[in-house]
Amino acid sequence: MGYAQRKVATTAAKLAHVSSQHLKALPTKHLSAGRSAGAPPAVFDAQSWAASQPPPRSTLAAFVHRIGLGNVVSSPDVIQQAVTHPSFVQLHTQQHPDQPLPATNASLATLGNSLLGLFATEYVNSSYPHLPTRVLKAAVSAHVGPTTCANLAREMGVTPILRWHRSSSASTQNSVLHADALASVPRALTALVYQYRSLRSARRFAEKFFFSRDVDMRSMIKFRDPKQTLLATVEKYGRERPVSRLLKETGRYSQSPVFVVGIYSGADQLGEGFGSSLKMAEYRAAEDSLLRLYLTRQPPHLLQLPSSTFPDAVGNVFDAVGTEGAYSPTSLGDSEVLYGSAGRAGIRVPGARSRVVEAEDSDLDIYV
């Protein structure tokens, strides 16, 4: 490098250094005044630019055929809308300020969430007519809740084509989690099936992807005092008072005894439990008796859902023309037993420590 070239390089380096120092000294408002809120960032971010690009149409077509909706949704643009979360608008505006805003799945996800809630509620309520109210809500959430929708989206293969953007705010209140963005896609797909086909088609879609999964309903119910709850339940149904009987035992005088206790109401055995002590076995027997009642399931061939009455014609529930299906309502199950006594409900009047208000409170703990 000659003298002239070294002089030019040194001068350019000095100018760049002076310019950077001058920019650091300027207030922030002077730096941001030159570009609007929707202008592209001053520094090119390759990762953000790549995330703002639409997925290939061939990928969208393969996805819609993989989940069995190739004959329902023919346009890849509709599927692209279904996989576009509302949070993506901010990223698209930053990278492409001159292009129109993309269509998002906000309205589709809202409609699909309502449909899934309807389908899950009638399915769980018809399948388990004696289920307590709070357990019913927990079961509906286990079938079509956010966690289930996010897991289903991953199984469908939504992750590579999902369009979303995590908020850059430091506060986590306004940030969008990846699981929440994934959960919106199955809801939007359910709404698309309803819009392009019918309500019964949307219900079949939910049965295929959501209700075909096994949900452990037994683990959702725990009792603080199952013996007291069973006593009130048997009295409500007008049955004989429950009696505990020792059915089997082994190793009573050893270090690991096992007792098997059964609870009977008259000649009928209500439940059975085992344990290392008589008290533990009786506790489990009472719990088993209550679970047999609450988790009594309607046989699948006798299960009828209210939404089955709508015609299976193309169109929404207001415009569809066709023959309505027959429906025979099943008998409603009895509500759970509510009981309470002084000192057990835990509700006290403020300012009166010695006075306890008797309140009826369910003796159920819900675990999901």
Contacts of 200 (CB under 8 A, 6+ apart): 307, 308, 310, 311, 312
d(CA 171, CA 89): 19
Residue 260 counted as domain residue: yes
122-138 burial, b if ≥16 CB within 10 A, otherwise e? Answer: bbbbbbbbebbeebbbb
CB atoms within 10 A of CB 350: 5
Local structure of 168: helix, strand or coil = coil
pTM confidence score: 0.74
Domain containing 278 equals 223-296+337-361
Q: Where residue 251 sits, what CATH number does that domain have?
A: 3.30.160.20
Within a domain: 50:
no
**Distances in Å between the alpha carbon of 97 and those of 30, 52, 85, 121?**
21, 12, 18, 43
Which residue is listed with tokens 């082994």? 250
312 is a domain residue: no
- Assess if residue 147 is contained within a domain: no
Residue 291 lies in a domain: yes
Residue 4 corresponds to which tokens in the numbers above?
A: 């002239």
Q: Determine which helix (DSSP H) or strand (DSSP E) holds 188, and give its type and residue range.
A: helix 178-196
Residue type, 333: G
Q: What is the pLDDT along the chain (368 residues), one digit of tens a residue?
A: 454 444 434 544 444 443 444 434 444 444 344 444 455 556 777 888 888 899 999 999 999 999 999 999 888 999 999 999 999 998 989 888 899 999 999 999 999 999 999 999 999 998 998 888 889 999 999 999 999 999 999 999 999 999 999 875 445 557 889 999 999 999 999 999 999 988 889 999 999 999 999 899 998 988 888 999 899 889 888 899 999 999 999 999 999 999 999 999 999 999 999 999 999 999 999 999 999 999 988 888 888 888 888 777 776 666 656 666 677 766 666 666 665 444 444 433 333 333 333 333 334 333 33
Residue 268 located in a structural domain? yes
Tell me whether residue 288 is in a domain.
yes
Number of domains in the chain: 1
173 part of a folded domain: no
